[in-house]
Amino acid sequence: MAYNIADIAKTLKIKSVTYPEYNISHLLTDSREVFNPEETLFFALKTKNNNGHKYVEELYKLGIRNFVVDSLAPEWETLTDVNFLLVKNTLQALQAVSTFHRDHFNVPVIAVTGSNGKTIVKEWIYQLLGSERRITRSPRSYNSQIGVPLSVWQMNENTELGLFEAGISMPNEMAKLQRIIQPTIGVFTNIGDAHQENFKSLKQKCLEKLELFINCDVIICEEGNPLLDECMTSACLSQKRFTWSYNLRSSSPLLIQSVDRTDTVSYITYSFLGLPFTIELPFVDDASIENVTSAIAVALYLTTSIEIIQRKVRQLEPVAMRLDVRQGKNQNIIVNDTYNSDINSLKIALSFLGQQATEDSQKKTLILSDILQSGYSDEALYRSVLDSARAANVEKIIGVGKHISKQQQIFENIPHAFFETTEEFIESGIWNDFHAETILLKGSRSFEFERIAELIEQKTHETVLDINLDAIVHNFKFYRSRLNPETKMICMVKADAYGSGSVEVAKMLQYHKCDYFAVAVAEEGSLLRKSGIKTPIIVLNPEVGGFNQLFESYLEPEVYNFRILDAFIREAQRRGISDFPIHIKMDTGMHRLGFTEEDLPRLVERLLSQKALRVVSTFSHLAASESWAFDEFTTGQISTFKKLAAALQQGLDYPIWKHILNSAGIERFPEEQMDMVRLGISQYGVSASGLSGLRNVCTLRTTILQIKHIEAGETVGYGRKGKVEHDSDIATLRIGYADGLSRQFGNGAGHVLVKDKLVPFVGNICMDLSMIDVTGLDVKEGDPVIIFGDSLSVTDLAKTINTIPYEILTSVSSRVKRIYFRE
């Protein structure tokens, strides 16, 4: 559906003026995700970490002509054929436009909220009802003040049922989402401590969430939760409840009579209005049983037959909560999203594909299964797929499934191949020809695309380092929000991004407009350039023998003494180069590298005597900025640097940038941010000074190979160091010091997490294996084990062996598989 820009202006209560004629079918809040620009309305949102107004000119160049802004910049006066809708608050404007759109529909709309399980319940409702109705639903977990209006905007003339989730983290948020969604059916999953920090009590949060349902015809929830019962009574909503319960004596229309489990399947017997029936659920955990019961209650309320529910529940697919990136064979990169397939989540996955396949690095390939339960004709559906693929610059499409194969004529102008089954694709051997491609695997669970992933993924053993790219972005924006808008950020990606993978991390940060990267040596910078990184790169430890790489990859060296300065000038002059960028390092007390005050007159004279090099910045390094005990020393360093930088600036005939703050410096001395700052360990979720608010980035995990019962008095491992004092169960893990697990963790010095319990290492750490004591735990071979992660921080781990998180992170060896994911 499309609206005239004048109608949208009227909706925003903007006084009537003459607008260039444009129809709007797309709302945009992220400047990097432009699609169909001539019909796009961009909302310049201001958030804690960013300001959309600074991307207006960039978007204008990409063809966008309609903008919602809260102020007008003088430089925009030269832009022609453009509409600027001036409002007081751009977020409120986005919500108002989405509400205006929602008002055009008179169809049932389901809203799901709660503390946990919202996305899973929403997706399972869709899987139960999708073949019966044309459903528009929230993509992934778009449940915020921004995500909800973007989700509701997806409703169109074909929509027969809306299905949206809503989440809040602050008081007074839910009423805004209620006006946008206007649900007729409410689903309340549960109430818990998630996002509790901004609420005075659970009751306050529960009442806030219930505001979503104030005008609903029915509210589906579990009976018997005292807090929810109390809040519903307070909100005068009790009479609207359609409940389910485990209590067979309750008055709920839907009762869980019994649950029988095997290793992989649950058999749940229900009673609905006194009529018993049994369903087979392909999951066994308690949370899945509660989530599926909420979905079944919705289906029953909408008069879906029990036979259809039984069949659909057996076919329920797990909900993929993340996209992940894995290294493939033959220099391929695999973006793995093999658990669901629909047009909205496809667009999100294609956007992520674009972040991984940077410009002129690797061609993009889409392997897509049939999209099931779309509610659209196959022709309309796959034309939309083609449009989305073209917008993402996909160069090859491989379709798997009978439906997409019948529409292959739609894809005739793009390289393609089609197969009716996954087996047929595998037998074709076409996957052997993939080389240097970024491949998006996007398939419905029934197509078992994990079989394709297994064929094209580079094989490694089962010890894995998970890297949360969303956490990288969160931490980057967290520090950006603490800086002045004009302050530039240098992100450290040296040492393979502290073990996280420099290419993947740099791609994500470049996408989010990091100003500079810094690496240790020229080889690291060259690798980033070959991988498509265009952002300026500083080389902190350049070598005279590495000048060729510096020039060819346009890497900007740190210069810290006259030997390397003179050698670099000679090489630049020999090549006929002028104004090559360099960064001058000052020694203000670290006493490692850098020019001193005594060097300044000679340094200025040498720089002025040549034209080959041009100083971009001067900087120094703080020795102890994380420690309050050395604040006097740190402020002395800063004072010394300001004096040296001023002298250098005075001696040169052009301006240069200054920077001294590292991660701890940003946290503790933000008033000294100058022109640039350097973000290091804190980028990876480890606060250098104990600051809260960061997200963990890396999780190192492995699996149990074998479990043995060892009698008291026996020993475990090399050197018989691990003596067992009592009868014990000892598990052997697939990780050793060759994977980066320090031998210092052995003999009880270190612990790991198994089933959320801390258990100690037993005996010496071996090269490829290690042993832990799992006595009293219900574990089996193949169970996961966390070395460090969200619940066992790398900082705490480092303290146990008297080292620092840097060493733990950078020690994880290259043979450990890295999996990059977005939530």
Alpha-carbon span 717 to 417, nearest angstrom: 53
> Considering 205, 312, 396, 494, which one is annotated as catalytic?
494
> Considering 61, 718, 723, 757, which one is annotated as catalytic?
718
Looking at this protein, which amino acid is placed at residue 288?
Answer: S
CA 397 to chain centre: 25
Q: Where are the alpha helices (DSSP H) in 62-158?
A: 90-102, 118-129, 147-152
451 is in an annotated binding site: no
Using a 10 angstrom Cβ sphere, with 0-12 exposed, 13-18 middle and 19 or more buried, the burial of residue 494 is buried
Contact 56, 82 (CB under 8 A): no
Spatial CA neighbour of 698 closest among 537, 820, 604, 784: 820
592 is in an annotated binding site: yes
Distance between the two ends of the chain, CA-based, in angstroms?
29
Alpha-carbon span 755 to 170, nearest angstrom: 32
Q: What are phi and psi of 7, to 5 degrees?
A: -65, -40
Alpha-carbon span 565 to 602, nearest angstrom: 12
Alpha-carbon span 486 to 136, nearest angstrom: 41
Contact 584, 618 (CB under 8 A): yes
Going by DSSP bridges, is the β-strand pair 556-559/516-519 parallel, antiparallel, or unpaired?
unpaired
Element (H, E) at 181: helix 174-181
Query: Which residues are CB-contacts of 484 (< 8 A; sequence separation ≥ 6)?
Result: 673
Spatial CA neighbour of 571 closest among 508, 522, 528: 522
Looking at this protein, which amino acid is placed at residue 62?
Answer: L
Measured torsion, CA atoms of residues 321, 326, 329, 331, in degrees rounded to the nearest 10: 130
Residue 97 DSSP SS3: helix
Element (H, E) at 40: strand 40-43
Residue written as tokens 């087979």?
280
Q: How many residues does the chain have?
A: 823
Alpha-carbon span 695 to 698, nearest angstrom: 10
Active site (annotated) includes residue 494 = yes
Residue 28 DSSP SS3: strand
Give buried/exposed letters for 153-187 (b at 16+ CB in 10 A, else e). bbbeeebebbbbbbbbeeeebbebbbebbbbbbbb
What residues form the annotated binding site? 592, 767
- Residues forming the active site: 494, 718
What residues form the annotated binding site for substrate? 592, 767
